[in-house]
Chain A
Amino acid sequence: MADLYSVTGLHVSLADMTRKPLLGAAPRIGILHGLTFAIGRGEVVGIVGGSGSGKSTLGRALVRLLEPTAGRILFDGQDIAHLPEPALRPLRRRFQMIFQDPLSSLNPRQTVGTILRAPLALHGLPLARAAEALDAVGLPRAHLARYPHELSGGQRQRVGIARAIALRPDFILADEIVSGLDVSSQAQVLALLETLVRDFSLTLAFISHDLSVVRRLCTRIIVLHQGRIVEDAPAARLFDAPKAEYTRMLLSAIPLPDPDQPWD
């Protein structure tokens, strides 16, 4: 079976508005410099890197929140890299995203019910799936009537997950979704994600700055550094024998909860 995503020569550069001359175009800053990789169906891929590595930009290009400067993004065989928004819209049901900060990604003036039903209505899907999605993420249906600010951080992130899975997508991009959570909620959300990937046979790309978090969930890991892929390997191999210098540096910098770890 063909890969779900096949990315070749992906370049993204953004206009640097701080250095825009009064007349004429702003100079461009390269964020991603020719990335090539594929994501197979059912794979759970970790995308890891420090701040400025371009991991979030890559994620946003995959779900076409931004248009790449150059390169191809084949989604299920169709190049979506430069597809105009109206042509993209019917496809959007199939690739969804969970955002880092649920407080920012849930409209504060809408109830959980409205938030979950709006995407379903847009794609002409049964609205009853909103309640089912809440069941799937382990929130009581009564939460449909609540506002985001009435929920805890972990509960909000579950709503974000419910919104993504309600559309029954093929692919979900999770962008740093546990970095704002306490360790106990973090563990719960990751366990939930593990279950959902299995039950809905999802393909998942999990963006994180934290290799430890990715270790548990992902089968394959892509390490980004300054807009380039420095390593792309099965999880077990990457942790046992990291090849790239940068990966080794990242790994050795992680403070394990163990006073005997040689860390210096």
Chain B
Amino acid sequence: MTFLAVEGLTVRIRRGPWLLRGVSLAVAAGEARGLVGESGAGKSMIGKAILGILPRAAEVVSGRILLDGTDLLRLSDRDRRARIGRLCALIPQDPLTALNPARRIGPQITDRLTDILGWDRARAQARAAELLAEVQIADPPRVLKSYPHELSGGMRQRVLIAAAFAAEPKLIVADEPTTALDVTVQREVLRLIAGMQARHGTALLFVTHDLGVVSKVCRRLSVLYAGKVVEDTDVRAFFRTPGHPYSAALLAATPKYTDPDSSLRPVPSAVIDAVRAEVAAWDAAHG
């Protein structure tokens, strides 16, 4: 069953350029979808639109964002915030800035339980300790009392994952959650996200520039270029035979130590020209 459906979402800078050009994608309940693209492709912008945190200068021109059947864009600000808060959560990119340095870890997790689910403090605290144990943090009571600066980068990212899953959201948007981490830590964190997602049956929208990471976490995948979906496919099919020349070029440019000669190939300019032409055609059709 489709839990999230984005239909023809078009976003632009007020009186400025397009950010998203008629983006459509669907995420079934409990499914993991990757959003892949290079910087400026608009992949983070989609996540922001869904979570209702688009920058001030951006405006939604047309389209629908159906969250569990309700179009978020037709709700009042207040109702939208409430609905998003209850159903969605974010795992942010930078574990250094995503936690408030002046507050202990504990309340930063339990806030969601008391605010969104209306739990009392004792129950929330017990749950927070459980969550930290679930993200494989040793000694949860100690960590709950710690300040962010007392934890390593990997630990902080685990805390953020625990916080994201705390209120049992139905959809999690993960925005480049491992870009700042070492590969060995990245592996642990990705396994954790994939495992929690499967256990909790949460839908996942995983924003990343790294095709390797997508292949480990996601079942479906959208490839973006200049705010336009150029391919929407199954992950296995994608890595066997990419459907769009741009996707194929992106895959050939990705480093692969097992096959050095067929990886790290620069994207041919003909491919870039072709995908740019597609974008230009869309622009022409939409004034």
Contact = CB atoms under 8 A, between A and B. Distances in A.
B187 A187 contact: no
Given A182-B38, A182-B39, A187-B253, A257 B211 contact: yes
Nearest to A194: B264
Interface residues of B, number: 35
Contacts of B213: 255
A258 B211 CA distance: 9
A187 B257 contact: no
B97 interface: no
A259 interface: yes
A183 B184 contact: no
Nearest to A239: B257
B16 interface: no
B186 A264 contact: no
B254 A257 contact: yes
A261 B255 CA distance: 15
| B interface secondary structure, majority | helix
A216 B216 contact: no
A183 B209 contact: yes
Contacts of B239: 257-259
Contacts of B211: 183, 257
B184 A259 contact: no
A260 B25 CA distance: 25
A250 B260 contact: no
B249 interface: yes
Interface string B178-192: 000011101100110
| A interface secondary structure, majority | helix
A211 B175 CA distance: 24
Interface in A198-230: 209-213, 215-216
A178 to B, nearest CB: 9
Given A184-B38, A253-B184, A216 B212 contact: no
B263 A212 contact: yes
A213 B183 CA distance: 13
A259 B233 CA distance: 14
B22 to A, nearest CB: 23
Nearest to A179: B179
Nearest to A236: B260
A251 B258 CA distance: 10
Nearest to B216: A255
Contacts of B210: 255
A208 to B, nearest CB: 10
Interface in B168-211: 182-184, 186-187, 190-191, 209-211
B39 to A, nearest CB: 6
Contacts of B191: 264
Nearest to B182: A50
A256 interface: yes
Nearest to B213: A255
8 contacts: A183-B209, A186-B255, A187-B253, A191-B264, A212-B257, A215-B257, A253-B186, A256-B215
Counting from the closest, the 3 A-B pairs by CB-CB distance are A212-B255, A255-B212, A182-B38
Given A239-B258, A257-B211, 20 more contacts: A183-B253, A184-B253, A184-B267, A188-B266, A212-B255, A213-B264, A215-B257, A216-B263, A216-B264, A253-B184, A254-B183, A254-B257, A255-B187, A255-B216, A256-B215, A257-B215, A257-B251, A258-B212, A258-B215, A258-B239
